[in-house]
Amino acid sequence: MLDLFQTANLKLSQTNPKEEVRWEPPSDLWYKINNDTAIFESTISIKVGAIIRDHDGQVEAAFSKALLVPLGQLEAEAKTLEESILFASDVGVWDVIFERDSKIVCDVVTRCSEPPSTISTLIEGIRLKLQDFQRARVSHVLRHGNHPAHLLAQYARHLFGYITWIDETPYMVESAVTHDVMLLSLS
């Protein structure tokens, strides 16, 4: 009985390997902006974090921002993408992949599905802003591939405005970024 049990569990673990999710760099001359949202209902606010990295995984810029707006999850996710687009424009990167862990927002921006009415106006504005870039894409990443942006959004819980970092790595994401870069060198 024990042998049958162990054999069955071994087969299950072999047929269901845990997929490693990690940050993938953009190709040369592109930048990747990972962004994430944290909602704090107790303060009626959303917190936004974004990080811009080059093809070597080096940080070009990052920000954490608190927005005192009462938004639901989907609206907050779309607003975070909009904030990231504005940040990329301010920083001056024009060949950009905006990567986030909200599949719904990615799908509606890329026209894979219709936007819910609660975000349709915001999505149209995002699509217009994306036209200002030389090349821009929006793509989905699983949450584990978005870790530095998640940490930046969590950091914003302590802010009443925003903070930006240009050509430096924020201390709260330094180990996560270093980990991503080390995994790149192993590939």
Q: In this predicted structure, what is the pLDDT of residue 143?
A: 81
CATH class entry, domain 31-177: alpha beta
Q: Domain ranges for the chain, please list them.
A: 31-177
- What would the pLDDT profile of 53-100 be if each residue is shown by its tens digit? 999 999 999 999 999 998 999 999 999 999 999 999 999 999 999 999
Q: In this predicted structure, what is the pLDDT of residue 169?
A: 96
- Give the strand order in the sheet containing 135-140: 135-140, 95-100, 31-40, 45-53, 59-67, 162-166
Residue whose structure tokens are 């819980």: 157
Q: How many CB atoms lie within 10 A of CB 59?
A: 20
Q: Are 135 and 95 in contact (CB under 8 A)?
A: yes
Q: In this predicted structure, what is the pLDDT of residue 16?
A: 44
Q: Report residues of the chain scoring pLDDT below 70.
A: 1-20, 187
CA distances from 97 to 3, 29, 55, 175 (A): 50, 11, 11, 23
